Amino acid sequence: MKPSLRPVMVGLLGLAALVVTDLPSWAGATFPRAVQGAPLPTLADIIEPVIPAVVNIATSTRTQVLEHPLLSDPFFGQFFKQPPGGKAREQKSLGSGVVVDARKGIILTNQHVIGKADEITATLRDGRTVQARLIGVDPATDIAVIQVQAKNLQDVPLGDSDVLRVGDFVVAIGNPFGLGQTVTSGIVSALGRKGLGIKGYEDFIQTDASINPGNSGGALVNLRGELIGINTAILARGGGNVGIGFAIPVNMARQIMDQLLQYGDVRRGGLGIQAQDLTAELAEAFAIAVREGAVVAKVVSGSPGERAGLRRGDVIVRVNNHTVRGRGDLHNAIGLVRAGEQVQVEFVREGVTRTVNVVVAEPERQRSAGEQIDSRLEGAVLEAFEGTDKAEGIRVISVEENSPAWMIKLRAEDRILSLQKRPVNSFRELKAIMQKVKNKLLIGIRRGNENLLILVR
């Protein structure tokens, strides 16, 4: 069975057979050399100050549903007594969050934990339950910020996820299965995981992890008791544990949190270029020594990249202090920079390394009526971004009821991600595929927190 990725994070697989010979201290936590003559290391001194900073989050979402498809028809619907818009249904979910500013009551969690909740409550370690206010969410990174008004909160200090190494010991704290605070431990299995299809901006910490639904949004801490990640997803085969979990690095989470606190949303910038991974063949064709980087495939006219002098064929190898090994690294490095800020871009051209400063700008938005692309999209208004390093599909602005676009089940705020399992990020790509495929068109969309497939016959 093919593995599936689920945003339901993670407790960490317990440290087994840990051998300590002569270790008087470990990352600031003093271990006893022996208990009744037998060595017995413990993580308790590290965990105890952190546990009160991890809260349990419960959400409630009210949706309107129709009891029968015929009730959506104006003719049949008039014969049945039903509240306007359908019958109300309440959905509840559980997750975790981390207090990062006790004075202001600021809590970091996952966007998929919060979703479109009508009510958010946080249960503290001492048993208090308080209402939370949503500050902002960023679906592209799966980060959300909420705020509570409560006294005697305790926060966890933020660490530096950039200094993590594979093999570092880590501890996960969260609320798996709604059981309450649970602590598990493991190691960093890998760093910089991308291309998993979980979110738009991926740079995950991979760790050996149990499958613990409800741990999403919880804390991943190092042995100094510092927050180094927000637990967010697990890799599962049919719901069974395979020991692979993912956390958002705290440095990424901090950048997103700062923007959400300041603006209420994330104002991403772009260089106005499109890029691809540097391959061995391209490096040979360019006659350059570097073997990793992002090749500039297109520079949009009038864009920040063009104004800075970037050209097609340039190989970007670094942005500020971030090494660029491919298009994904470039996407993350630029996508987390606020529009209007300056970045230093290092690139290779004709074997010579050069550096330019570029002020990133908000990508240019383009809108189009659906019928201008394909008759099956008539009635929809679509939006795409020009000049992004890696776009996130095409947004559906609005859909007229009973129009062709409505009949193929497109809805406002859907995001078209793929056609025939091929990513689409521009109107040109969308139109080219739709013109070729007249029957059995498979449309991949993101609706809210779910990825869906629509088959158009």
Q: What pLDDT, on a 0 to 100 scale, did the predictor assign at position 197?
A: 58
For 327, the token pair is: 């298009």
Residue with tokens 């800075």: 308
Residue percentage of the chain with pLDDT more than 70:
76
Nearest CA-CA partner of 303 in 274, 267, 265: 274
pLDDT (tens digit per residue) in 122-171: 989 888 899 999 998 888 888 999 999 988 899 999 999 889 999 899 98
Dist. CA 258–CA 195, nearest whole Å: 25
Residue 315 pairs in a beta bridge with 295, 348
Which residues in 24-157 belong to E strands, given as ranges? 25-26, 29-30, 54-65, 87-101, 106-110, 119-123, 129-138, 143-148
Residue 394 pairs in a beta bridge with 416
What is the DSSP track for 123-154?
E-TTS-EEEEEEEEEETTTTEEEEEE--SS--
Cβ–Cβ < 8 Å for 86, 66: yes
Read off the amino acid at residue 437.
Answer: V
Which of the given ranges, 73-87, 169-183, 293-307, 376-390, has the highest pLDDT on average?
293-307
Q: Of residues 93, 96, 138, 142, which has the active-site annotation?
A: 142
Q: Of residues 93, 96, 112, 374, which has the active-site annotation?
A: 112
Q: Of residues 216, 303, 368, 418, which has the active-site annotation?
A: 216
CA dihedral over 193, 388, 134, 64, signed as positive or negative: negative
In the residue annotation, 112 being an active-site residue is answered as yes
pLDDT (tens digit per residue) in 387-438: 554 457 888 989 998 899 999 999 988 889 889 888 888 888 898 899 888 8
Distances (CA, A) of 217 to 120, 148, 162, 193: 14, 16, 20, 18
In the residue annotation, 216 being an active-site residue is answered as yes
Q: According to the 3-state scheme, what is the secondary structure of 14-36?
A: CCCCCCCCCCCEECCEECCCCEC
Q: What is the DSSP letter of 200?
A: S
pLDDT (tens digit per residue) in 266-286: 877 788 888 888 888 888 888
The secondary structure element, H or E, covering residue 436 is: helix 427-436
Residue 208 binned pLDDT confidence (cut-offs 50, 70, 90): confident
Please provide the size of the chain in residues.
457
User: With 90 as the cut, is the pLDDT of residue 377 above it?
Assistant: yes
The three-class DSSP label of residue 290 is coil
Q: What pLDDT, on a 0 to 100 scale, did the predictor assign at position 344?
A: 93
Dist. CA 275–CA 300, nearest whole Å: 12
Domains and CATH numbers, the chain: 4-13+156-262 (2.40.10.10), 51-148 (2.40.10.120), 273-359 (2.30.42.10), 364-456 (2.30.42.10)
**CA contacts within 13 A on the Cβ side of 78:** 2
Weakest mean pLDDT among 44-53, 89-98, 128-137, 349-358: 89-98
Q: What pLDDT, on a 0 to 100 scale, did the predictor assign at position 270?
A: 82
pLDDT (tens digit per residue) in 62-111: 655 545 454 555 544 554 555 554 555 666 678 889 999 999 999 999 98
Dist. CA 305–CA 85, nearest whole Å: 48
Cβ–Cβ < 8 Å for 30, 253: no
